[in-house]
Structure 1
Amino acid sequence: MYTALAPLISAAFLTSIAAALPAPTRTLEERAVTASVVISQGTVVGSVIGGVENYGGIPFAEPPTGNLRLKPPQRLNSTLGTFDATGIGPSCPQMFFSTKGDLITSVLGDLINTPLLQTVTGQTEDCLTMRVQRPSGTTSNSKLPVFFWIFGGGFELGSPQMYDASSLIANGVKQGKPFIFAAVNYRVGGFGFLAGKEILADGASNLGLLDQRMGLEWVQDNIAAFGGDPDKVTIWGESAGAISVFDQMALYGGQNTYKGKKLFRGAIMNSGSMIPTDPVDCDRCQDIYDTVVREAGCSGVTDTLACLRSADYKTFLNAVNSVPGILSYNSVALSYLPRPDGVILPESPDLLVASGQYAAVPMIIGDQEDEGTIFSLFQSNITTTDQLVDYIWKIFFPAVERDDVVGLVNTYDASITAGSPFNTGIFNAVYPQFKRLAAILGDMVFTLTRRTFLQSALAVNPNVPSWSYLASYDYGTPILGTFHASDILQVFYGILPNYASKAIQSYYISFLYTLDPNNGTSSDIQKWPQWKENRQLMQFWNNKSNLLADNFRAASQQYIIANSKKFLI
């Protein structure tokens, strides 16, 4: 198993991401150039490199340590004085992989000691900070629109450190559309998304979402000093960040105002939207909580939550990381993710959309064509349809009848020529059920869920515009295809200076400025119709784009919708 997968992951995935995160060559003179911004709490001093000012690690909340661990964020009210923001800031404690798992997970522990996941440094609980980047020469009178970035990572890992927006900002300046980029740091893993009845009773659920919300409030209070316009904020995220974007739209049943003003006016979701989920006190949530309590040495005490808060950092970190992680056999059956708690998320996200309990703003939403391939690399023991059914049933939906899962699996072609990576014939079948499992996981978490979200949103808010896409620009990549998170290479970093990166960045920047991706784009970029017009996607290839009917795998989608009350993560 190691021999088959290690070269694949290291060469096709980790190396490509490593290329996306180059460390810029900086001379001593460049490192010495600084700029400063005066905000209400002090003066923040940033670095200036290549025409972009960077201000990293600006605190917006009290350190969530000690008695504030596993508590909602507390706004920082103390002064900063003159604050050194020339670095990239801290990262919150990470869950790179489960500390208990199978051989592949253990192997990945060595493999991912390379850029992708190990790019973050300075892990600390005192991590609730903002990173702001802007074009050099921006002043407090510039009133530029603002991208508010929420990083992805399966709600287990990630940091603003991993996302340098310099190339995006330079592109905006080149187009005559300069903007501010603000990235929020939020708690992940068991630090930010621990669940269980004790968590619910204490009001300690969905802490990572509350961190993000406080970051949005910080932008409203401070971004004008950086030259940003707080009335022109677009929230944007990828993967868990995209799911978080929708969750911010749905927070408190759609309440997105602060001091009488809207926190954002537009949304972009790359690979993620609503995820139908069990509540905070569900059975699987309680199992995870009880495991964390046991691993932290808190079993048998009267107040287990107080015990977790008082545990030393390493003990607590190892305890919350002792449950299955996304880089494991359990895959996207996530141990930690936002869950309905009756207040912060009043109901499962799909129900909030259907009832119109979300902030309906213009939005762009789409997926990579092969979202599920990466998450299906760990299950090579699945060689038959019955084993595939049992895996999905036991790992994802143990509370439903097995026949319900049989019905789902039967909507997917069992042929070796079908499945994901799509349109690759007999190739890429790493194990007999790989392509079929990849198709199912990609659809249920990302691709078909996106379509269902758009349908529900259109039904309750028919006049709110939306645009949708399918990215196929990595077609032909062995095993992975256009894999989950490959848009970070093309869209965010524009590593390949081709039509796809040019077009998507242009669409996004135009959307930031006008809430329409078509306004201001060059004549050589195809007009992108709203999704409601003909239910079409913009399909992106390396050197072209085309419109694609959003009706593929319709039988699978209808089955998922019919069983939506059962298929809860």
Structure 2
Amino acid sequence: MMHSVLSLLFVSATLASPIVERATAPSVKIKNGIVIGSTLAGIDSFKGIPFAQPPVGELRLKPPQPITSPFGTITATGTPTSCPQFLTQVDTSNIPQDALGYLGDLPLVQTVTNAGEDCLTLNVQRPSTAKKSSKLPVVYWIFGGEFEVGSTQMYDGTNFIQKSVSLGEPVIYVAVNYRVGGFGFLAGKELAGEGSTNLGLRDQRLGLQWVQENIAAFGGDPEKVTIWGESAGSISVYDQTIINGGDNTYKGKPMFRGAIMNSGAVTPADPVTAPQAQTIYDTVVENAGCSGAADTLECLRSKDYTTFLNAANSVPGIFSYRSLDLSYLPRPDPGDNFFSQSPEVSLSNGKFTKVPIIIGDQEDEGTLFSLVQSNITTNAELITYLASYFPNSPNAVQVVTGLVANYPDQALAGQPAGSPFGTGALYNIYPQFKRLAAILGDITFTLARRNYLNVVSSQVKSWSYLNSYLQGLPVLGTLHGSDILYDYGTLGELQEPTQTTQTYYINFINHLDPNGQSGGTSSLINWPQYTTASPSLVNFRKATNVIIQDTFRLKASKYLGTKGSQLRV
């Protein structure tokens, strides 16, 4: 579900470039004031535009509040503030981990990442030729980062927009900041009691409302918005389609008309009041020094920033042994219509926004999240570990036993099978590594995608893909998050995956068809729609792309299709 921190930092460092303003800086009058931006290489950039009141003080751990008064003139040319980052766990039982956790939370480190609570802003980038009357299609980017890290400052839409202009299909790029970690996804009965759950999703939603009210002033068309995300951002894109029972309207009009999901969609989850969610809340309360308070929520809101940050980050993080068993993620809140059902229930009930979609995965989604569990050496230990992800399932061990049976245990014979796929017996860095990587990747991303498509492809136009362009990379293969490097042109715009992916996506944003307005792009292979009768994928490779059938590991996906609802995190 999560985007590699290393990949995020690489994107940030590679895309960062000094902004050179033209003699007359671009300015746009929006609902609450005037925004002044900058121009470089034919792209106007407006960065750090506030879309909500600062979620600080009494608004900490509360739903985002819209800005209701004018803010005058804002110079939107600096580096936007990231929401507080959960870089690694503060763990007093593990001295090295504890030291790293506190280091990550130090004001200096959080400042280097430009993090702080007053972070609910978004970036708008457009071709410099755009005018208020242009009505350009809009892509709304939701970043990934395991719901624990990430920000808009790590991504720059310049290369993507330049490609759209060169194709004669210009787009406007919007990226939204949202609260992550304990600031955005803390659960528990206390937060459920006042309707303050899934705050990060609520931030994203308010950003979409801001687009509806303001994007026309930048030359965008509010009726032509596509939401796009990767990893946690991709899961968030799916979640935006099931919020409010699938109603995506604002003031009677749809807020988006298409969706692109890179690595992530349906993540079955127990409610915000489930025991494991309450344990996280209670741990944060204890480490904030609020256990004895009559109102623990009020106490958390009264704590200084660093105290609350350390407390929020005192639980297992993404690169801990618990890996994809996340401390913070969207959880259904049955008492609130906003996000009331586990995502797979909304899907099976047809309560999702019916818009065309693109969805796909990396070939080796799970390798990145299986590097540290080296004590898992036997089949029994693998089952025990995976079953612990699902503490409220009475049949977890039985279901997981049936699941892992679909991934042959050949480690002891010296012929390990699994991920990175296509590498034979190579790169099995501990006896169960390749099996664990295959299973984590499949249940979270790759086969979860297939089972999602088995439902939606009969109701909406759907296209799907599998990325294999790093096949053979030692240990990691085509790892989770590496697609961002190509999608944003980080490795150079002449890279084949960049050329093809950007063209398909820009076609989709403009015409809701990756093949373009005429149904085909001469320089690319035709991307067939996905159907259950013909489950075709574009397989993006390093030099050339091919069409393959989505039939690999079929027994495992069928098993998950029948048992998945028993595996809620």
Instruction: Give the distance between the partners of 2:405 and 2:100, measured in 1 at CA.
Output: 32
Structure 1, 58-67 or 100-109: larger mean CA deviation: 100-109
What is the letter of the counterpart of residue 453 of structure 1?
Answer: Y
Match of 1:8 in 2: none
Instruction: Give the distance between the partners of 2:28 and 2:302, measured in 1 at CA.
Output: 37
Instruction: Give the distance between the partners of 1:542 and 1:106, measured in 2 at CA.
Output: 41
Instruction: Give the distance between the partners of 1:94 and 1:213, measured in 2 at CA.
Output: 21
Match of 1:206 in 2: 198
Contact between 1:105 and 1:327, CA under 8 Å: does it hold in 2? no
Alignment partner of 2:499 out of 479, 499, 502: 502
Alignment partner of 1:537 is 2:537: yes
Shift of 1:493: 2.5
Contact between 1:35 and 1:45, CA under 8 Å: does it hold in 2? yes
Note closer, same or farther for the CA distance 1:472–1:436 as it changes in structure 2 (3 Å cut).
same
Shift of 1:526: 0.4
Contact between 1:276 and 1:568, CA under 8 Å: does it hold in 2? yes
Instruction: Give the distance between the partners of 1:44 and 1:152, measured in 2 at CA.
Output: 27
Shift of 1:34: 2.4
Note closer, same or farther for the CA distance 1:386–1:398 as it changes in structure 2 (3 Å cut).
farther
Note closer, same or farther for the CA distance 1:426–1:233 as it changes in structure 2 (3 Å cut).
same
Question: 3-state DSSP class of the match of 1:448?
Answer: helix
Structure 1, 389-398 or 302-311: larger mean CA deviation: 389-398
Instruction: Give the distance between the partners of 1:178 and 1:447, measured in 2 at CA.
Output: 31
Structure 1, 483-492 or 515-524: larger mean CA deviation: 515-524
Alignment of 1:366-385 (within 5 A): 366-385=360-379
Alignment partner of 1:528 is 2:527: yes
Match of 1:441 in 2: 440
Instruction: Give the distance between the partners of 2:481 and 2:136, measured in 1 at CA.
Output: 28
Alignment partner of 1:352 out of 310, 324, 346: 346
Alignment partner of 1:476 is 2:450: no
Instruction: Give the distance between the partners of 2:266 and 2:347, measured in 1 at CA.
Output: 8
Note closer, same or farther for the CA distance 1:405–1:256 as it changes in structure 2 (3 Å cut).
same
Match of 2:87 in 1: 96
Match of 1:269 in 2: 261
Contact between 2:344 and 2:565, CA under 8 Å: does it hold in 1? no
Match of 2:252 in 1: 260
Alignment of 1:222-371 (within 5 A): 222-342=214-334, 343-371=337-365
Contact between 1:91 and 1:120, CA under 8 Å: does it hold in 2? no
Question: CA offsets per residue over residues 337-395 of structure 1, 9 Å max, x none?
Answer: 11111221121111101111010100000000100000001111111111111111224
Instruction: Give the distance between the partners of 2:470 and 2:111, measured in 1 at CA.
Output: 23
Structure 1, 119-128 or 407-416: larger mean CA deviation: 119-128
Shift of 1:439: 0.5
Q: TM-score, normalised by structure 2?
A: 0.92
Note closer, same or farther for the CA distance 1:194–1:47 as it changes in structure 2 (3 Å cut).
same
Question: 3-state DSSP class of the match of 1:147?
Answer: strand
Question: 3-state DSSP class of the match of 1:390?
Answer: helix
Question: 3-state DSSP class of the match of 1:519?
Answer: coil
Question: CA offsets per residue over residues 239-292 of structure 1, 9 Å max, x none?
Answer: 000000011010011010001110000000000111111111001001101101
Instruction: Give the distance between the partners of 1:132 and 1:193, measured in 2 at CA.
Output: 25
Note closer, same or farther for the CA distance 1:24–1:323 as it changes in structure 2 (3 Å cut).
closer
Structure 1, 249-258 or 492-501: larger mean CA deviation: 492-501
Alignment partner of 1:391 is 2:385: yes
Question: CA offsets per residue over residues 450-484 of structure 1, 9 Å max, x none?
Answer: 111111223xxx24200000000111111100000
Alignment of 1:124-163 (within 5 A): 124-163=116-155
Shift of 1:125: 0.8
Contact between 1:193 and 1:336, CA under 8 Å: does it hold in 2? yes
Match of 2:44 in 1: 53
Instruction: Give the distance between the partners of 2:8 and 2:300, measured in 1 at CA.
Output: 38
Instruction: Give the distance between the partners of 1:33 and 1:23, measured in 2 at CA.
Output: 24
Alignment partner of 2:156 out of 138, 150, 164: 164
Instruction: Give the distance between the partners of 1:230 and 1:451, measured in 2 at CA.
Output: 31
Shift of 1:21: 3.4
Match of 1:67 in 2: 58
What is the letter of the counterpart of residue 400 of structure 2?
Answer: V
What is the letter of the counterpart of residue 253 of structure 2?
Answer: K
What is the letter of the counterpart of residue 364 of structure 1?
Answer: I
Shift of 1:561: 2.3
Shift of 1:511: 0.3
Shift of 1:498: 2.3
What is the letter of the counterpart of residue 401 of structure 2?
Answer: V
Compute the RMSD of aligned alpha carbons: 2.3
Note closer, same or farther for the CA distance 1:68–1:26 as it changes in structure 2 (3 Å cut).
closer
Note closer, same or farther for the CA distance 1:322–1:31 as it changes in structure 2 (3 Å cut).
farther
Return 5+ residue gaps in structure 2 as ranges.
Answer: none
Contact between 2:368 and 2:479, CA under 8 Å: does it hold in 1? yes
Instruction: Give the distance between the partners of 1:376 and 1:34, measured in 2 at CA.
Output: 48
Instruction: Give the distance between the partners of 1:278 and 1:104, measured in 2 at CA.
Output: 32
Match of 2:556 in 1: 556
Question: 3-state DSSP class of the match of 1:329?
Answer: coil
Shift of 1:118: 8.2
Instruction: Give the distance between the partners of 1:538 and 1:484, measured in 2 at CA.
Output: 18
Question: CA offsets per residue over residues 54-95 of structure 1, 9 Å max, x none?
Answer: 111111111111111111111111212110101131110010
Shift of 1:489: 0.6
Alignment of 1:189-204 (within 5 A): 189-204=181-196
Question: 3-state DSSP class of the match of 2:26?
Answer: strand
Note closer, same or farther for the CA distance 1:25–1:261 as it changes in structure 2 (3 Å cut).
closer
What is the letter of the counterpart of residue 369 of structure 2?
Answer: F
Match of 2:567 in 1: 567
Contact between 1:236 and 1:267, CA under 8 Å: does it hold in 2? yes
Instruction: Give the distance between the partners of 1:477 and 1:16, measured in 2 at CA.
Output: 19
What is the letter of the counterpart of residue 425 of structure 1?
Answer: G
Note closer, same or farther for the CA distance 1:163–1:38 as it changes in structure 2 (3 Å cut).
same
Instruction: Give the distance between the partners of 1:178 and 1:187, measured in 2 at CA.
Output: 30
Instruction: Give the distance between the partners of 1:349 and 1:428, measured in 2 at CA.
Output: 35
Instruction: Give the distance between the partners of 2:252 and 2:66, measured in 1 at CA.
Output: 18
Shift of 1:542: 0.9
Question: 3-state DSSP class of the match of 2:208?
Answer: helix
Contact between 2:85 and 2:110, CA under 8 Å: does it hold in 1? no
Instruction: Give the distance between the partners of 1:473 and 1:513, measured in 2 at CA.
Output: 26
Instruction: Give the distance between the partners of 1:60 and 1:19, measured in 2 at CA.
Output: 25
Alignment partner of 1:180 is 2:177: no
Contact between 1:494 and 1:502, CA under 8 Å: does it hold in 2? no
Instruction: Give the distance between the partners of 2:393 and 2:212, measured in 1 at CA.
Output: 43
Return 5+ residue gaps in structure 1 as ranges.
Answer: 1-11
Instruction: Give the distance between the partners of 2:551 and 2:390, measured in 1 at CA.
Output: 25
Alignment partner of 1:515 is 2:512: yes
Shift of 1:122: 2.2
Instruction: Give the distance between the partners of 1:43 and 1:158, measured in 2 at CA.
Output: 27
Note closer, same or farther for the CA distance 1:123–1:407 as it changes in structure 2 (3 Å cut).
same
Question: 3-state DSSP class of the match of 2:450?
Answer: helix
What is the letter of the counterpart of residue 548 of structure 2?
Answer: L
Note closer, same or farther for the CA distance 1:119–1:485 as it changes in structure 2 (3 Å cut).
farther
What is the letter of the counterpart of residue 88 of structure 2?
Answer: F
Question: 3-state DSSP class of the match of 1:22?
Answer: helix
Aligned length: 551
Instruction: Give the distance between the partners of 2:81 and 2:22, measured in 1 at CA.
Output: 19
Alignment of 1:16-55 (within 5 A): 18=10, 21-22=13-14, 26=18, 30=21, 34-55=25-46
Question: 3-state DSSP class of the match of 1:366?
Answer: strand
Match of 2:404 in 1: 409
Shift of 1:107: 9.1
Instruction: Give the distance between the partners of 2:103 and 2:90, measured in 1 at CA.
Output: 15
Structure 1, 304-313 or 165-174: larger mean CA deviation: 304-313
Shift of 1:112: 9.2
